[in-house]
Amino acid sequence: MVIDLQKVILNLKQNNNIAILAHKNPDGDTIGSSFALMYALSSMGKRSRVLCNDEYPKDLIFAVGVYSEEDFEPEYSEEDFEPEYVVSVDISDSQLLGSDIFNKYANKVDMAIDHHRTHKSFAKEEYIQPTAAATAEIIYEIILSLGVKITKEIANCIYLGISTDTGCFKYSNVTKHTFYVAGELVEAGADTAKINKRIFDTKSRKQVEVESIIANSIKYYFDDKCAVVQIPVDFLETHGATEDDMCNVTNIPRQIDGVEISVVIKEKEDGVCKASVRCDETINAALICQTFGGGGHYAAAGCVIPGNLDTAEKMLIDAIEKRLKEINVI
């Protein structure tokens, strides 16, 4: 059932021992939103815990003032916490709870707070605001309406959510209201520059190394309108890198001036390749990926192609060529 802000406030005021669910592979928005809500509930004298299927990335968790597993629970142990009310935050689909949390909570979510336009109902009650750039922007309004002061700690959490979901205010989802909230967070003492430096301007030595290797291997097609990167299955092992070092890989071909279609093809263990396709306004990435049974959005889509890297690249380039001819780009 769709509810309004007033009902959200009532739900939070009337309950205690509140489990706050963050989504699997947690990003800055789900982490920032969850911890902001936890801190707010805590300042109201309520007990709550943030629960997440996966580990929090170190580069994100520092911003919410939590530095180790122990910090998550300063006053009571996990055994001592029996959720009486369950809120999901920034989760658009119950599948995104992750298997452990899904098995335990999928049918017990009392309230979903989310900003995804594509939200698939799974909670008893839901408060979805698709014009918000981040769920953290919604959480900010909720905390204000709860009558809780935006402390520096809460401001950092909300800032983390907003800055990561907007690429530090770069994307088109940023509204006047997003900037307004960001201004209030600065006033509340958020460590904006520190958070930005760590998240947007810091790479590991290894990340810089693998990115330069990948940048050197870009292949171009169709008058340089299309840029393709191949990632062999043993790439991480060969270079002693981790998945974290690869977080920016899709942006490497995409950022190049004049490139309208960027493709990253990753070889998988089982003789297939996984491709991600990003396109500029005029080209539909989902249509290209549908050729191989994949799909996604207009600007970003993906698919799985059987065969090795070169086979997959050849098949994708053929599909892209067909599409570019259909829309008279070549």
Give residues in contact with a copy of itself (CB under 8 A).
167-172, 174-180, 182-184, 186-187, 192-193, 196-197, 200-205, 208-209, 211-213, 215-216, 218, 220, 224, 251-252, 254-258
- Minimum CB distance to a copy of itself, residue 178 (Å): 8
CA distance 113 to 256: 37
Angle at 293 between CA 130 and CA 215, to 5 degrees: 75
CA distance 297 to 174: 19
- Minimum CB distance to a copy of itself, residue 78 (Å): 32
Maximum CA pair distance of the chain?
65
- For residue 58, what are the CA distances in angstroms to 64, 68, 139, 170? 11, 9, 22, 23
- Minimum CB distance to a copy of itself, residue 329 (Å): 19
- Judging by beta carbons within 10 Å of its beta carbon (0-12, 13-18, 19+), is residue 308 exposed, middle or buried? middle
- Minimum CB distance to a copy of itself, residue 2 (Å): 27
- Minimum CB distance to a copy of itself, residue 291 (Å): 27
- Minimum CB distance to a copy of itself, residue 76 (Å): 35
CA distance 324 to 240: 38
Task: Return the number of the residue (258 or 295) whose C-beta is nearest a copy of itself.
Answer: 258
CB 188 within 8 A of CB 152: yes
- The token duo for 286 is 């989902």
Q: Which helix (H) or strand (E) holds 177?
A: helix 176-187
- Minimum CB distance to a copy of itself, residue 242 (Å): 13
For the residues of 182-199, what is the DSSP string, one character each? HHHHHHTT--HHHHHHHH
Task: Return the number of the residue (170 or 314) whose C-beta is nearest a copy of itself.
Answer: 170
CB 118 within 8 A of CB 95: no
- Minimum CB distance to a copy of itself, residue 180 (Å): 5
- For residue 315, what are the CA distances in angstroms to 250, 274, 320? 19, 12, 9
Exposure letters 65-83 (e unless 16+ CB within 10 A, then b): bbeeeeebeeeeeeeebeb
CB 42 within 8 A of CB 48: yes
